[in-house]
Chain A
């Protein structure tokens, strides 16, 4: 059977460093000709919110409060040594200083290369979010069965 150049990533973490891993793999794979799918679930959804900072989005008091605390792509915490949000700022500075792509550049590159973004229907329901709360590049809202179908025949990674 011919090898399928397809990479499907499950992005569950809302950590800055894991989001870097997701968008590095996604943009790098897309650049060398892979079809790339990312399935964002739970805290991973923070990366694709329209609102990149903290805002009260979602339906219901608890969901709105929770989404405010979680925030968006520009206030993801480091998984270790976050120091109240100072470390991601320092890390971004170090990355720029050493000519390594920042999270925002990797995210933009992934979009430019046609990486397909999908949001998890169940996690959206828990967090009171709708497709309108996400960037327009989010192709569809999926469940497990649909994600397995579209990732079939390629490699899948959970981050």
Chain B
């Protein structure tokens, strides 16, 4: 089990979702990852689609301004 990191705050649609999906696919069962992302479209949709695809969104933390951190686990 290990913790991974991904920063998609500089990305624009659709690469926000593309990078998040490719990153999540690399996780092993039990791994967690911290994803930095912006409010709006990424924050509305990355956790929703991760949940739909069977990942667990453990936490969503507002860091500063419009930057948020998601903690996601692959069960």
Say which residue of B18, B22, B52, B53 sits within 8 Å of A28 (CB atoms): B18
B21 engages A101 (CB within 8 Å): no
Pair count A-B, CB < 8 A: 48
In the complex, A28 Cα to B20 Cα: how many Å? 11
Point out residues on B near A: beta carbons under 8 Å: 10-15, 17-18, 20-22, 45, 49, 52-53
With A32-B45, A33-B52 as known contacts, state yes or no: A99 contacts B12, CB within 8 Å: yes
List residues of chain B with CB within 8 A of the CB of A101. Answer: 12, 14-15, 18
| Contact of A106 with B14 at beta-carbon distance under 8 Å, contacts A31-B20, A31-B21, A112-B22 already known | yes
Chain B residues with CB under 8 A of A105: 15
| A113 touches B (CB below 8 Å) | yes
A to B CB contacts below 8 Å, 18 in the list: A24-B13, A24-B14, A27-B14, A27-B15, A27-B18, A28-B14, A28-B18, A30-B21, A31-B21, A32-B45, A32-B49, A32-B52, A101-B12, A101-B14, A101-B18, A109-B18, A112-B18, A112-B22
Q: CB-defined interface of A78-105 with B at 8 Å, one 1/0 digit per residue?
A: 0000000000000000000011110001
Q: How far is the CA of A109 from the CA of B21 in the complex (A)?
A: 10
CB neighbours (8 Å) of A24 from chain B are: 13-14
Distance in Å: Cβ of B31 to nearest Cβ of chain A: 19
Give the secondary structure class of A's interface.
helix
Which residues in A have their C-beta under 8 angstroms from that of B13?
Answer: 24, 28
Q: Are A99 and B18 closer than 8 Å at their CB atoms?
A: no
Interface positions, chain A 13-60, Cβ under 8 Å from B, are 24-25, 27-28, 30-33
Which residue among A28, A31, A98, A112 has the maximum number of chain B CB atoms within 10 Å of its CB?
A31
Closest 10 CB pairs of A and B: A28-B14, A31-B17, A32-B49, A31-B21, A109-B18, A31-B18, A101-B15, A100-B12, A27-B14, A27-B18
